[in-house]
Structure 1
């Protein structure tokens, strides 16, 4: 937070004045009366330079972390190109004002307000999240479309280009080839601070909208303020789109109003979002994808967390005034720090679904865009590298949101599912105990759906960790908190379960073996109980309960 709040307020007022001036520039361009156009541009340049100078001085004097100086450079860059367009009376000037300059200034206001007036005051942050976040970052086009009941486009496609032009070309060519013919879409190309020929290439494509950002990281929410589609497909420039992938993702997101986020399977991505595939060339990859990408609702797998080199979002849920306020949740000035985990947490806690569409396979080259920045990351102590980046980011996230982004249950465990067939018929009840975010119980449900097309599965979760209660609501039918595991068998009455998964902390309770014996009585005939522990002695003690128990990784499984 900046110490001189009077100065911050003055700078915010200047940005608001510039937004009004931008609207005036737009009206001048419509009327084609450019008599005082350059006078307004020059005044805006001076105002931006004044803010830039103040921020640079404040960063030196107060050692604050804020990127508003980069936003100023982006605004000046946009404004100067608009000035040149006015001289040639270019028809592109309206789009550059509406879909580049104004979003950059709106983002500048958001950045200055949060980092200059809110962070790190916990009370102010709470009020900001509750009352200010959504108005500051909602998309006016999406709001108007919701009022009208009709969207200008079915789909907004955003390609984020940051150097590596050879990959960007492959990406855009694949999109143009495989975007469905019957989809009314807009193509938004975001040149995010590239120093190669990305800008020139984008111009040769003649997209619906082109947003040119001078400095990477200076205007993180500018592009999402330009979206006018019912759904938004965001594609990193190191992704190749394939036949039927987009249409199958759209089918998935349209299948349930609570589905907010869909990603396809890709190689070279974390979070177990790959599927078995055997190909060696791009042509072979396309042939594999053509066969794989046959619409199949049983291969839409709900997850508690997603990663997104390419993803499909519901614009209403993400960007409207009635949505989650994405773009305004901050916990660090490093915009690359755990963004997938952050939005996954927000969606989980608001009860929305996140889906991995296995019937949509695309190719991801793997961190081409961000690899160098992550590998070159340096913390305040001078430590460099990807390990430093993730360690520091994980710590920041945990301290800010009070949950470890890579904590218990953030992903399912292959060691467990090696021994679970998940081919049950009829009604199935799954009980998760201290399963953190709940990935393993959810994976049982989704595996039964995929394997035998059985949708009659209910998930119950019980935990003594209050920090996970809200996270579990998005993936559970019933969630309960308990602080007494000595009566665990009574939490859900006389309920019998097909699967019981006890994922953490069992060895820390009094009489853990007695708890296991009680839980075994809560199983249906031929039911399965799985217990995870890192304590070798306790693991051996559990194994003595049943000579037929199976050990797999840190799990002991009773069938």
Structure 2
């Protein structure tokens, strides 16, 4: 057996796939295809070598499962040739064998990426190549169908059949194809799929898991758009029509997804119902296309991954490194945004979600932490901390933002809370806003560029007026204002120089009596020379001297747990002793970690 180094291993995969592509493009498959037989026989040994070499890499992978399926379809193709079944031969070669080899190439590319010069393999590392937006449009105009609905299923036939029925019954008059992927089921799913009229059935003899299962289905798509779905959803009247209306409304939109029952990421729509039939009727009444319910997002859960098919092909579909599928949604959201497209949550459309049937087994493992680490290693960003909305957003008083047309977000991480502000102004007041951002952490610049008209890198708030030379209607500071070093008077002066008269300022500050701030002050005194120097009442007083009038305040605690509550209770009893009233007061102070403050720049005339 030949031993291959990483470059040779990757090159052998790429050469194999390129040869298959040339065969698809340049030759017609017939019943007596000697060239194809020769290729299959010659490449069998290469694939065995690839499998052996892949096991030398210390990363989780599914190379054995992929090659097992490739060998299965090698046998099927040889059988079709012997039986002179041209249709099955063509289908299995194109949609099974070739696409499985493509999946294998991506898998090997992930395994060896630390050992090779990835710039030599742009086809296997799509992030290296800038997206040609015009090409995406042109490819979309040459497709056979309007949309390809891709359904992935592994067992749970009862749910799968309900899902399929709901899709077929609610496609209206759209020109579509249904691609169903049986990911190695053992409960009759394959037979059921083969009974569906006109469905394109992708069957995997052994399970290749969620990521690659979806990818092989999407690779088979011949539609302008792809709508990829799991088998634990029920779809509703106008679901696909509404998504396509949104997707087609702006060429810069690259990914749309509807709301659902029992889902996270602020994409849940609560519609009480007592049966699926009742839910369908209620959903029909709800699912009226309404652009005021469209929300731009930094991260979007793919209740439906609805995107231009050419865009998904260009970015390489779902990233194979997410072995169990966790944080797959965050990753594809980041890659589509960074490719220059918007993500839109369609809050005008509801579907029903039973629960994670497709990934239920992995939830019992440490899959969330595994996926989180993979994402951090890939982007140097924590999707949970950096790409989610700040809890403070739920307390903001939006009634004063009717004339806001420009927003400046300061240290907003990846911008989820800032985009939520923009969305709420649109839904509450019908006003579209321009967004500017500035950050003191360079790792966020790339993602802020995807949602902002302009991004500024700063070291402190005092330099802001020198960077942004225009008046702003609303300034939102996500980082606590007492986190910044510098004179607090100078900070407020810099902010009001940017605010127009009657402009709005939103910021948080820490309660220095909270248990978290006590800990912070103990362990980081040397680093934070100005941290929490002032109490919240003092900060409000200083802001007022700079013509900033408090209009709203909300105290809150971002995260709470039983252990924290017990620690605070013990500490207050130790400090207050038998003074019960003092203990109650002290405990309330320690429990409130932040205060959200909204202020208006009130310009007072000189008398």
TM-score w.r.t. length of structure 2: 0.78
Tell me the alpha carbon deviations over residues 432-451 of structure 1, each in whole angstroms, 9 at most, x when there is no partner: 10001112221122112112
Aligned partner of 1:315 among 309, 317, 320: 309
Listed as ranges, the matches of 1:195-274 within 5 Å are: 195-217=186-208, 219=212, 221-274=215-268
Aligned partner of 2:287 among 287, 293, 296: 293
- What is the rounded CA distance, in whole Å, between the counterparts of 1:557 and 1:85 in structure 2? 71
Asked whether the 8 Å contact 2:258–2:303 carries over to 1, the reply is no
Listed as ranges, the matches of 1:519-530 within 5 Å are: 519-520=495-496, 522-530=498-506
Aligned partner of 1:501 among 455, 461, 476: 476
1:80 aligns with 2:75: yes
Tell me the alpha carbon deviations over residues 189-220 of structure 1, each in whole angstroms, 9 at most, x when there is no partner: 11122222111110010344211122333745
Using the TM superposition, name which of 427-436 and 164-173 deviates more: 427-436
Secondary structure of the equivalent of 1:407? helix
Q: Which has the higher contact order (CA 8 A, sep 6+)?
A: 1
Asked whether the 8 Å contact 2:395–2:554 carries over to 1, the reply is no
Tell me the alpha carbon deviations over residues 35-78 of structure 1, each in whole angstroms, 9 at most, x when there is no partner: x66x9558726743x34543454355554544322211111222
Asked whether the 8 Å contact 1:59–1:65 carries over to 2, the reply is no
Asked whether the 8 Å contact 1:26–1:94 carries over to 2, the reply is no
Shift of 1:25: 9.1
Structure 1 residues 550 and 206: alpha-carbon distance in aligned structure 2, compared to 1, 3 A threshold: same
Listed as ranges, the matches of 1:72-471 within 5 Å are: 72-86=67-81, 87=83, 89=85, 91-112=87-108, 114-115=109-110, 118-121=112-115, 124-125=117-118, 128=121, 133-134=125-126, 146=138, 149-181=141-173, 183-217=174-208, 219=212, 221-319=215-313, 323=314, 325-327=315-317, 329=319, 332=321, 334=323, 336-375=325-364, 385=365, 388-408=366-386, 410-422=387-399, 424-455=401-432, 457-471=433-447
Structure 1 residues 43 and 303: alpha-carbon distance in aligned structure 2, compared to 1, 3 A threshold: closer
Q: Larger radius of gyration, structure 1 or 2?
A: 2
Asked whether the 8 Å contact 1:155–1:184 carries over to 2, the reply is yes
Structure 1 residues 259 and 7: alpha-carbon distance in aligned structure 2, compared to 1, 3 A threshold: closer
- What is the rounded CA distance, in whole Å, between the counterparts of 2:442 and 2:91 in structure 1? 48
Shift of 1:471: 0.6
What is residue 381 of structure 1 aligned with on the other side? Answer: none
- What is the rounded CA distance, in whole Å, between the counterparts of 1:534 and 1:91 in structure 2? 68
Aligned partner of 2:467 among 469, 472, 491: 491
Shift of 1:298: 1.3
Asked whether the 8 Å contact 1:163–1:198 carries over to 2, the reply is yes
Tell me the alpha carbon deviations over residues 73-115 of structure 1, each in whole angstroms, 9 at most, x when there is no partner: 1112223333444427374432222222221223223333x14
Shift of 1:530: 2.3
Q: Which runs of 5+ in 2 are unaligned?
A: 514-531, 542-549, 557-593, 600-607
Shift of 1:158: 0.6
Structure 1 residues 85 and 418: alpha-carbon distance in aligned structure 2, compared to 1, 3 A threshold: same
Aligned length: 526
Shift of 1:250: 0.4
Shift of 1:164: 1.2
Asked whether the 8 Å contact 1:539–1:556 carries over to 2, the reply is no
- What is the rounded CA distance, in whole Å, between the counterparts of 1:62 and 1:354 in structure 2? 35
What is residue 379 of structure 1 aligned with on the other side? Answer: none
Structure 1 residues 531 and 64: alpha-carbon distance in aligned structure 2, compared to 1, 3 A threshold: closer
TM-score w.r.t. length of structure 1: 0.84
Asked whether the 8 Å contact 1:304–1:344 carries over to 2, the reply is yes
Shift of 1:231: 0.8
Shift of 1:244: 0.8
Superposed CA RMSD: 3.4
Secondary structure of the equivalent of 2:459? coil
